[in-house]
Amino acid sequence: MLNKGFPLLGCALFSVLTGLSLGGCLKPAEGTKTYDYAEISRGTLEKTVSASGALKPVATVSVLARMSGKVEIVHVDYNDRIRKGDILAELNTDMLRLQREQQLAAVIKARANHELQVLNYQNQEKLAEKNLISEYELKTTRTALNVQAAELSAAEASLRVIETEINQYAFITSPIDGIVLERNISEGATVVEGSSSNSSSIFTLAENLEEMQIEAGVGELDIASIRQGQTVRFTLEALPGKTYTGMVETIHLMPTVQDNVVSYTVIINVDNRDGTLLPGMTCAVEFIEERNENVLLVPNAALRYQPVGLSAEEIAGRVFNAGLRGMSETQQNEALEARRQAAAETQGQPRETRQTGLSGLVMGDRGFGGPPGGGPGRGSGPGNRGGPENAPSGPPVEGPPKTLWYINGEGKLDCFLVRTGISNGFFTEIRPVLAPDTDLAGMRIILRERV
């Protein structure tokens, strides 16, 4: 069972290794050093991807004028709630009414000419029956009648256009139920027909502000961690101290390139039933990539610590010693034989090469934590996730073994190996390589040496 004071193997166990400083016997001077400590804790750890974005309504509609004219009355203002068909503004129709009277006169004239031509054609038909006129004259009269009918239809159509503009197009109405986000006109202003190249939006309407979305930009290095349906947490600069949640709706595949930085737009759905979220607010977004609960946590600085007063070979020897704990005698002998072979292979090579070979053996390249070659054992050989099948349930802890240093029950420097899991940049999830079901919460480990 792993505890807060790991026993040390005797120095005699390593006497077979000539030419290597294993550091199995601790120097008395180590007890005189002072350290900064941290405690192993148990809690919840999240791995997140950070981004920024802005709140926007799910659906917006830009309203354009269907005819050109002067604005007579504006019925709505910013934030007004409207229903489909409500009149937003009215255009002046004085000139249109004059045009209607003029066109009405044109219709009356065209109708009179048409009626006269009908009588003329009827008379020509009777004369043709008595062979008093030629067939050519009859066809000419019929053609004139068709022309008059066409002119009457054109005049009536022009009148209907004017009446439509007066009765419909002069009234700018809402196409949806929603709220007015933007109003770009005032009474007395002139608007241009929407089909013109000079036209612009006169109203912007939002269909529903109870459901909003965030358009967040995610860098190309992080986009692979984003998926549809992923939980999102975000905060607002305008509302400090409050945290909101959302869910990834979709990822736009078209990238955005700015200053040689590639990013992708991610759409996040947000619930805004309380109405506190407003369009345009800037958001700091965190995509929760992974979340593990009730796991052992250590500060990242503790995983980076290495004793200053020990050489690389001495550190490697102590790490190797820590790895032998919990093994059977056979497994220890096999590990020692593998270490001896590694030392023989690097004999005569530069010091840096010898240290590299030793470190490779210690960190598992040749079956550390189990028999050489990665056979069955209690350690962290290939394919082993750091514990037996009856270990506590939870997400597997991956990664190569790391070293944590502490002061043992005898007041001397010691270490043990752990597997690391996810990290949030400040804390990392760990599980002991040996006896992974041991609860190390509260154990003091070294962060750094005091100068």
Residues 340-386: pLDDT tens digits?
A: 776 666 665 555 554 444 444 444 443 343 333 333 333 333 333 33
Residue 71 CB-half CA count within 13 A: 21
Name which residue leads in pLDDT, 341 or 221.
221
List of domains in the chain: 11-45+296-449 (no CATH), 50-58+211-291 (2.40.30.170), 62-90+170-207 (2.40.50.100), 93-169 (1.10.287)
Nearest to 338 by CA among 366, 314, 376, 310: 366
Phi-psi region of 300 (alpha: psi -120 to 50; beta: other; left: phi over 0): alpha
Return the pLDDT at 18.
30
User: How many other C-beta atoms are found inside a 10 Å radius of the C-beta of residue 67?
Assistant: 19
Using pLDDT thresholds of 50, 70 and 90, give the confidence band for residue 6: very low
Is residue 20 predicted with pLDDT exceeding 80? Answer: no
* Amino acid in the structure at residue 296: L
Return the sign of the alpha-carbon dihedral for residues 236, 239, 241, 245. Answer: negative
For the record, the structure tokens of 360 come out as 């490779």
**CA separation for the pair 369, 382 (Å, rounded):** 10
Residue range 174-185: average pLDDT? 93
Instruction: Give Cβ neighbours of residue 140 (< 8 Å, ≥ 6 apart).
Output: none
Return the pLDDT at 32.
62
Using pLDDT thresholds of 50, 70 and 90, give the confidence band for residue 401: confident
Using pLDDT thresholds of 50, 70 and 90, give the confidence band for residue 205: very high
Residues 407-434: pLDDT tens digits?
A: 988 888 999 999 999 998 899 999 888 7
Residues 228-252: pLDDT tens digits?
A: 999 999 999 888 989 999 999 999 9
Mean pLDDT over each residue of the chain, to the nearest integer: 81
Residue range 71-97: average pLDDT? 94
Widest Cα–Cα separation across the chain: 144
Residues 294-335: pLDDT tens digits?
A: 999 999 999 999 998 888 888 888 888 887 776 667 767 776
Is residue 387 predicted with pLDDT exceeding 60? Answer: no
Return the pLDDT at 1.
42
